[in-house]
Structure 1
Amino acid sequence: MGHRIFTTAFSSVYPHYVTKVERKGRTVAELHEVIEWLTGFDDAALAEHLATGTTFEQFFAAADLNPHAELITGSICGVKITEIEDPLMKRIRFLDKLVDELAQGRPMDKVLRG
C-alpha cells in the first residue's frame, strides 16, 4: 500500500510550496525553475498538471526526471534522502528538498546542482 501523498493532488500541495518560498523572499518564477529542473515540466505543462488535479504519482510518472537529481542529498523531515527506498517517495522528497533549499536562500546554481 502506498503512502497517502502518492494519491494527493499536486495542486493541493503546490500553494504550500508557493507560500514557503514567498515568505522567505523568493519568487514563484524561481519555484517554477526548480520544478522544471527536476521534472522537465515548463510553465504550460505545470499549469496543466495544476488545473487537472494530477496526483503526485501521476505527476512524477509523467516527469522526465533530471539525471542530476541523484545529487540531491541531505535530510527531509528527519529522513536521509539516500535511505529512501521507494522511488516515488524519493522523487517527492527531492522536490521537497529543492523547495526547502530555495526558501533557505541558497543560490539558484547550488539548488539546481550547477
Structure 2
Amino acid sequence: MTEHRIFSMPFAKVYPLYLQKAERKNRTKDEVDQIICWLTGYSQAELQQQIEQQHDFATFFSQAPAMHPNCVLIKGVVCGVRVENVTDPLMQKIRYLDKLIDELAKGKALAKILRQ
C-alpha cells in the first residue's frame, strides 16, 4: 500500500493554511497554536521549532511528546470521512487536527474544542 502524500508534506506548509482558515473567521494564531499544543503535547517553543525545521507530518506526530488522552473524544466528519473510523493511526491524528481547526473556524468555544 502506498503512503498518503500528506505524510511526507512539511507541517510548516499546512500550518499557514490552518491559520488562514481560523483568521478568516476572526479567530487567532494563539487559538490555533493552543489547539495544536493541546493535541500533541508540544510547548509553544517546541511547536515553533517543528515549524522552523520543516518536519513532515509523519515526523511532526512521531516526535510529539504525547497525544492528549481526550483526543479519542474527537468525533465527526472531515472531508467526508468520520475521524473516529480512520484506521491508519497517523492519518487519524492528522484528521483530529483538521477537525479541531474546523471547529475553531465554525466558532465553537475553545473549552469545547479542547474537550474540557
Q: TM-score range by the shorter chain?
A: over 0.9
Q: Give the length in aligned residue pairs.
A: 114
CA offset at residue 73 of structure 1? 0.3
- Quote the residue 1:82 is aligned against: 84
Identify the residue that residue 55 of structure 2 maps to in structure 1. 54
Q: Unpaired runs of 5+ in structure 2? A: none
Q: 1:31-60 CA deviation, whole Å, 9 max, x = no partner? A: 011001000111110110010111000000
Instruction: State how 1:8-19 maps to structure 2 within 5 Å.
Output: 8-19=9-20
Amino acid at match of 1:29: D
Aligned to 1:44: 45
Q: Calculate the TM-score normalised by the size of structure 1.
A: 0.98
SS in 1 for 2:67: coil
> 2 CA distance for matches of 1:59 and 1:47?
11
Q: Quick one: which amino acid aligns to residue 92 of structure 2?
A: K
CA displacement at 1:2 relative to structure 2: 1.1
Note the residue ranges of structure 1 that are not aligned, 5 or more in a row.
Answer: none
What is the identity percentage for the equivalent residue pairs of Structure 1 and Structure 2? 46
State the secondary structure of the residue aligned to 2:55. Answer: coil
Matches within 5 A, 1:1-114: 1-63=2-64, 64-114=66-116
**2-structure distance, mates of 1:70, 1:5:** 21
Per the alignment, in what secondary structure is the counterpart of residue 73 of structure 1? Answer: coil
